[in-house]
Amino acid sequence: MTDGKLVRDRIPEIIRDGGHLPVVYVAEPQEYRQRLRDKLCEEVTEFLDANQADAPEELADVLEVVYALATDLGLAEGDLEALRVRKAAQRGGFTCRYVWTCNG
């Protein structure tokens, strides 16, 4: 894999609008999958490091990458949400704030 990082689709346009010439290429599918995974780690780290005010923006970035990963797996946003709802119905969510400490 070459240097660089995966950027949002409009970033080259924004760079051009700023009077600069972006140097980009379109990643092949295998590289794209790996770069999406790398981007997920990057965005999760940014979310974890964010203060209360910036956290929602960073969480939206995480979600954008998750949707791109789902699309790469052949899932539509609705498919991913349906999976989430099914798992929540079967196993619950995380709203009760339970912490498992041992088998008893």
Residues 44, 73 contacting (CB under 8 angstroms): no
pLDDT digits (tens, 9 = 90+) for 6-47: 999 999 999 999 999 999 999 999 999 999 999 999 999 999
Spell out a b/e string for 49-76, using b for 16 or more CB atoms within 10 Å of the CB, else e.
Answer: eeeeeeeeebeebbeebbebbbeeeeee
Residue 2 has pLDDT above 90, yes or no: no
Judged by DSSP in three states, 3 sits in: coil
Helix (H) or strand (E) run with residue 8 in it: none
- Entry pTM: 0.88
Note the CATH architecture for domain 11-91: Orthogonal Bundle (1.10)
Residue that has been written with the tokens 């790398």 in this structure:
38
pLDDT digits (tens, 9 = 90+) for 58-103: 999 999 999 999 999 999 879 999 999 999 999 999 999 999 999 8
Domain boundaries, the chain: 11-91
